[in-house]
Structure 1
Amino acid sequence: MPPSRSSVVLRASDLRLELGGRTVLDGLSLEAGRGRITALLGPNGAGKTTFIRCCTGLLRPDAGEVRIDGEPVRAALARGRVGVMPQDSGAWSGIRPLEMLRHLAGLHASPLPVDALAERLGLHDFAGTAYRRLSGGQKQAVNLAGALVGRPELVFLDEPTAGMDPHTRRAVWELLRELRAAGVSVLLTTHAMGEAEELADQVHIVDAGRVRLSGTVAELAGQGDSLEDVFLRHTTARIRP
């Protein structure tokens, strides 16, 4: 009988990284559950995007390690198990959305049907427009499609609904719930407390390169506090009132 798979799909242990003489990750450790949506909350500059870059091979931490399903990051990436949605994809500036999506689909053995995915995310409405000319929300929809087209087991989404109108945002939420129901693990960053409350099975609040607080929304926002109240209490303002 094969061994059972761990309930933890992602484990980061004591990640430390300096960039430009500044400590960006300062002993960050966290776990993400298999088939769960994990939300990473934190103010700008807290280290969220840097953490995702360490998890997807774009940066190498100075110390500590990331394991995806027990494997090193590069091994998991090489096997096509990981999808990533960046905040922007400037490298694709001249390409049209469906051209980009078909190119990415061609890199995978069993991609999702491009036209069906494009229809689900409304990409046909601006299929003839170069990526650089898209609105912020449209770029996000294209980036999300690119992250999902390869059927990843674990997908990283960096502020996936930033710039989207309420209709598109709700459609993306429903898609993420369907992915979770299908067993896909999702780690997302967001500044929208309502988004975390709607979607997240687990929340990690990050500040100054380390996790300050972790738990379910119910655990963190109990006793009459909102998730935003908890966030403000455990993170540092970058702009003073």
Structure 2
Amino acid sequence: MTGALLFRDDAYRKDALGRVVAHSSEGGVILDRTLFYPTGGGQPGDSGWLRWGSAEMEVAVAVKGQGDQIVLQPRDAAILPPVDCEVTQHIDWDRRFGHMRVHTALHLLSVVVPFDVSGGSIGQAKGRLDFNMPDSPEDKRALQEQVQAIIDRDLPVVEDWITDAELDANPQLVKTMSVSPPRGAGHIRLIRIGTGADQVDLQPCGGTHVGRTAEIGRIRLGKVEKKGRQNRRIYLHLEP
């Protein structure tokens, strides 16, 4: 993707400078380095603001553009910062942090539910995973307690990298049937929860996550829906 991926270097960074390198044909802004995570892998794109001088553009969402571009779409028909203009990027931190907490919690849900994941969605306060499982869980409360117990262990959440060939040799790392890990760069990002003997999960993922599981806080498992003969959808909520 165009420029440095600041959201990947530091998911906790709330603002940064950037320079406008182009406008998209749809009226979006492309920067040389971006703080905004683009929609992908079930995680919504970030929103926020670009500011330059006395002007401001509200960013409705960041999306993937042509090739490796990340495009910042304005909320309304806003005035765009001109090409080669230096801007200050500000993300909507509360929304981003909610996504980070929910996304990491869903990784843990996939740990305690031992079935392939066929889909998922991440929101600011809740998310869901679809599992390739024929029957609903017998004891949803027990699953909730298992997820919460892992959260309360305050395990570190870190990234790691492997080559395409290493992933091919370890296909069990891929839990999500509906989303393939991005290939082409020669290396693939992994998210590791826990280290050494305390490791509980390791899977390819390009999204943003909390640094430690305790930051997720209290969770609640919501309704379980039947979405097909072999599919069950489980909702996870962050408790206030």
TM over 0.5: same fold?
Answer: no
Measured against the shorter chain, the TM-score band is under 0.3
The answer to which structure, 1 or 2, has the higher relative contact order (CA under 8 A, 6+ apart) is 1
The two structures have a TM-score, normalised by structure 1, of 0.23
Larger radius of gyration: 2
More strand by share: 2
Q: Whose helix proportion is higher, 1 or 2?
A: 1
